[in-house]
Amino acid sequence: MSAPPDSTLADSKQLVADLQRQLAECRAERDEALEYQTATSDVLNVISRSTVLGALVKTAARLCAADMAFVFRREPEGIRLAANFGFAPEYEAYFEKRGVFHPSDGSITARAFLEGRIVHVDDAASDPGYPEAAVKLGRMRTGLGVPLLREGSPIGVIALARQRVEPFTERQIELVRTFADQAVIAIESGC
């Protein structure tokens, strides 16, 4: 029996390398899905605790590689910041001073709340309607806002932001949508 030609051996080595790369990619996807599933389970486990919204925004920020995350809740007079993670101190002070407000600016929070849909802004600095305070005080560049809907009506917004221009992936957006559903449960249960 003769040895295989060099081209067949090279093709075989390339095939093995391709299969190893595909296996590594599949393992990475599996590990990421497991991390998301575990995080979702963790969020559900803290719903009974009063810090659920804080835990939710912290977990969402970590899993989606966001620098900041926040939840606004509807109140009779408007909306109010209910929980945040990663805010610069001056941006947090801005919202404390602002208190309850009517969402009417061009922020992701206002858009998601008023339109009742997901809003994704790739670069807030180049969006002419985006509030200057978010860009300057919050140092926000990329933002994602997901409305908290109860029976089709917004009762709040969960939002994530990055201080760099880096759009969120579809997978990250779906994860935040899941967290929004959990936030609605938490709000309705009085957390």
Identify the pLDDT of residue 1: 54
Return the H-helix or E-strand segment holding 81. strand 78-85
Q: How far apart are CA 152 and CA 131, in angstroms?
A: 27
Secondary structure, 3-state, 98-139: HCCECCCCCCHHHHHHHHCCCEEECCHHHCCCCCHHHHHCCC
For the chain, give me the number of helices (H) and strands (E)? Answer: 6, 5
Residues of the chain with pLDDT under 70: 1-6, 38, 40-50, 190-191
DSSP 66: -
Residue 158 host element (H or E): strand 153-162
Assign a CATH topology to domain 46-188.
Answer: Beta-Lactamase (3.30.450)
Predicted local confidence at residue 2, as pLDDT: 57
Query: Which residue do the tokens 């009517």 mark?
Result: 102
Instruction: Provide the pLDDT for residue 178.
Output: 92
pLDDT at 49: 41
Question: What are the sequence ranges of the domains in the chain?
Answer: 46-188
Per residue in 32-80, pLDDT tens?
A: 887 877 676 555 444 434 478 888 899 999 999 999 999 999 988 888 8
